[in-house]
Amino acid sequence: MLANQHQHDILIIGSGASGLSLALQLAETATVAVLSKAALTEGATFYAQGGVSAVLDTSDTIESHVQDTLRVGANLCKPDIVRFVVEHGVESIQWLIDIGVSFTKNPHPNGHEYHLHQEGGHSHRRIIHAADSTGKEIEKTLEHRVRAHPNIELFEFHTAVDLITAAKLGKSEQRCLGAYVYDQQTHKVEVFGAKFTVLATGGAGKVYLYTSNPDICTGDGIAIALRAGCRVANMEFVQFHPTCLYHPKAKSFLISEALRGEGAKLCLPYRRTGNRP
């Protein structure tokens, strides 16, 4: 059953760091609708722990960060994209600070203003963090900002079903006109019209039996993009966090990558055999 029709300049499907930060920046000049499949903060961003990498220390360099990234990416990364992200890292961190993200300060007055971790694959300390709950701090700050913005309308517990394209409506133009969205509370499908639609739905980690991803990471955005005729690539690149507390009868959760960066080592579990203690 189809219900209400909503109209906004921009429809953003997904409410993690990407979706909410984009909403805040676009809402200065446009009306924005943000869809969240669960509660606004329930996504992969909220559960990220270690921190965000950027060249923040005077002993570090852009080139070093670029080369570290290309090396641990087995040279499969696109160099121009890596360089673009690294070169804009500091300004992105500053934007987060400006909107209120409270990163952990350096306890040593002679050091950098903020404490920097060193994580696996990095040759310098360049991981700015909020204790060991960086994702939670970023997501909660973004949530506070978007809830207060007059040009942003939030729709929690709304699941995107399919994109509305001109071709599906029998028109010759190639463009997206919005999305059909299932309201989990009213059990009705609603129409969200928009001049521009953004997919910020994250990955599909939950298609695997064991993952530290939250339950909503089921690849919805990838599926609806494919059905709309978008090109989908690099589907083999699915991140599995290298350090995770696993129990076969309980929900697994990740252990911060900062552990390995600070010197912790992964070891095989010790098993008792015979008369050994």
pLDDT in tens, 228-250: 999 999 888 887 777 777 777 87
Annotate 10-45 with b (16+ C-beta within 10 A) or e (fewer): bbbbbbbbbbbbbbbebbeebbbbbbbbbebbbbbb
Residue 85 pLDDT more than 90? yes
pLDDT at 270: 62
Give the confidence band of 276 by pLDDT, cuts at 50, 70, 90.
low
Mean pLDDT of the chain: 89
Q: What does each C-alpha distance from 142 to 101, 138, 191 come to in angstroms?
A: 8, 6, 26
Average pLDDT score over residue span 98-109: 90
pTM exceeds 0.85, yes or no:
yes
Domains of the chain, first to last: 1-49+134-240 (3.50.50.60)
Question: What distance, in Å, lies between the first and last C-alpha atoms of the chain?
Answer: 66
Q: Which residue has the higher pLDDT, 10 or 249?
A: 10
Q: Which residue has the higher pLDDT, 112 or 223?
A: 223
Contact between 201 and 192 under an 8 Å Cβ cutoff? The reply is no
Q: What is d(CA 74, CA 69) in angstroms, rounded to the nearest whole number?
A: 9
Nearest to 10 by CA among 240, 202, 194: 194
pLDDT digits (tens, 9 = 90+) for 145-161: 999 999 999 999 999 99
Q: What does each C-alpha distance from 230 to 174, 179, 196, 225 come to in angstroms?
A: 11, 15, 15, 5
Other Cβ atoms less than 10 A from the Cβ of 226: the count is 13
Residue 273 phi, psi (nearest 5): -135, 140
pLDDT at 132: 86
Contact between 118 and 128 under an 8 Å Cβ cutoff? The reply is no
pLDDT digits (tens, 9 = 90+) for 29-76: 999 999 999 999 998 899 888 899 999 999 999 999 999 999 999 989
pLDDT digits (tens, 9 = 90+) for 175-223: 999 999 999 999 999 999 999 999 999 889 888 887 788 888 999 999 9
The percentage of residues in the chain with a pLDDT greater than 70, rounded to a whole number, is 94
Q: What is d(CA 99, CA 123) in angstroms, rounded to the nearest whole number?
A: 29
Beta bridge partners of 253: 245
